[in-house]
Amino acid sequence: MKRISLTQYLVEEQRLNNNIPAELRLLIEVVARACKTISHAVGKGALGEVLGSAETENIQGEVQKKLDVLSNEILLEANEWGGHLAAMASEEMETIHLIPNRYPKGEYMLLFDPLDGSSNIDVNVSIGTIFSVLKAPEGMETPTEQDFLQAGSKQVAAGYALYGPQTLLVLTTGHGVNCFTLDREMGSWVLTQRDMKIPVDTQEFAINASNTRHWYPPVTRYVDEMLAGSTGPLGKNFNMRWIASMVADVHRILNRGGIFMYPADAREPDKAGKLRLMYEANPMSMLVEQAGGAATNGKQRMLDVQPEKLHQRVPVFLGSKNEVERVTAYHQET
């Protein structure tokens, strides 16, 4: 079987759909190369002295792991000098990162969660990097936070790297979802899954059940119906799967279906949710929609949500279409 590299795939995709200009191709390749470097650091673990806390907090007030900080630096340094970016934004940083004056500027803007699933780092469970690419607004001179506040439907590319038993890169540029596996001996990304599709129906769900007592009624109703099994209103038995790493949970759903839920709850009524719209919800929603699934915030399509701030949080319901539509309808009824 002929092996197709990431570069060959991107060049052929440009010929076919005319949606990957050279600058965007270079950007994706640089992000992929940075993910390769992060994968190497993750793989070293304690041997590379990268485990444990960095004893600092990010803008979200969360204690950072050493790998969080390292991954953030790797992505910033890799993408600064290439000339394809106007600015970057990271979940780990308070405001946007401008390209230094000594480098040329490009027409794209990159957002990323450098290491998703931090709580799993020290216990050797799958973690990942999530990224989103936007086009800089016409006539923009010096980028501001406001320039990044574009609805998810404006993304030109989105993807994630999954650092697990294999290192994978899952990517969309708006024409389906494809998966690449890192050949560690050769150091190259090889296309291993084309046009990934999420089944419209499912019997698996992912949610942190320890928060049950804090859920709002639509989520309680929906989960109770699933737990009622084949004799309940949904007429089938469900399994629960929860990895506590969004990348790993979404990857499972892309491969075999399911619904992932991270709802708002009554613990902090003033917070709309926990996951970040710009760094997690939007890129994952683009991937899920491109694979035939659905993604909402409980009330509306996720990709239609107009961001109001860089670190905005949202409730997330994504995965197999019929189940996402069901739980969204329960929210709309209330």
Residues 218 and 91 in one domain: no
Structural tokens at position 207: 């949610």
Here the CATH number for the domain that contains residue 325 is 3.40.190.80
Residue ranges for the known binding site are 91, 113, 115-119, 208, 274, 280
pLDDT tens track for 90-133: 999 999 999 999 999 999 999 999 999 888 888 889 999 999 99
> Is there a single domain that holds both residue 57 and residue 28?
yes
Distance from C-alpha of 9 to C-alpha of 4, rounded to nearest angstrom? 6
Q: Do residues 128 and 275 both lie within one domain?
A: no
Residues 181 and 227 in one domain: no
Whether 45 and 77 map to the same domain: the answer is yes
Is 24 part of a structural domain of the chain? yes
**Per-residue pLDDT, 268:** 87
Q: At residue 52, does pLDDT exceed 80?
A: no
Number of domains into which the chain is organized: 2
For residues 253-269, average pLDDT: 96
Please indicate, yes or no, if residue 74 is contained in any of the structural domains: yes
* Same-domain check for residues 246 and 157: no
The answer on 81 and 45 residing in a single domain is: yes
Judged by DSSP in three states, 70 sits in helix
Answer yes or no: is 1 within a domain: no
Looking at the domain assignment, is residue 263 inside a domain? yes
Q: Which two tokens stand for residue 74?
A: 């790797």
Tell me: the pLDDT tens digits for 183-214? 999 999 999 999 999 999 999 999 999 999 99
Domain interval for residue 45 = 6-193
Number of neighbouring beta carbons within 10 Å of residue 98: 15
Query: Which of the listed residues 163, 193, 223 is the one where a domain comes to its end?
Result: 193
The annotation places the binding site for Mg(2+) at 91, 113, 115-116, 280
Predicted local distance difference test score (pLDDT) of residue 270? 86
* CA neighbor of 39 nearest in space, from 181, 177, 158, 157: 181
For residue 56, pLDDT over 80 is answered with no
CA distance linking residue 184 with residue 80, whole number of Å: 25
Largest CA distance in the chain: 66
Any idea what the CATH number is for the domain that residue 17 is in? 3.30.540.10
CA-to-CA dists, residue 285 to 74, 177, 183, 306, angstroms: 25, 12, 27, 14
Examine residue 198 and state whether it is found in any structural domain, yes or no.
no
Same domain, 28 and 163: yes
Residues 43 and 110 in one domain: yes
In a domain, 199, yes or no: no
Annotated binding site for substrate, which residues? 116-119, 208, 274
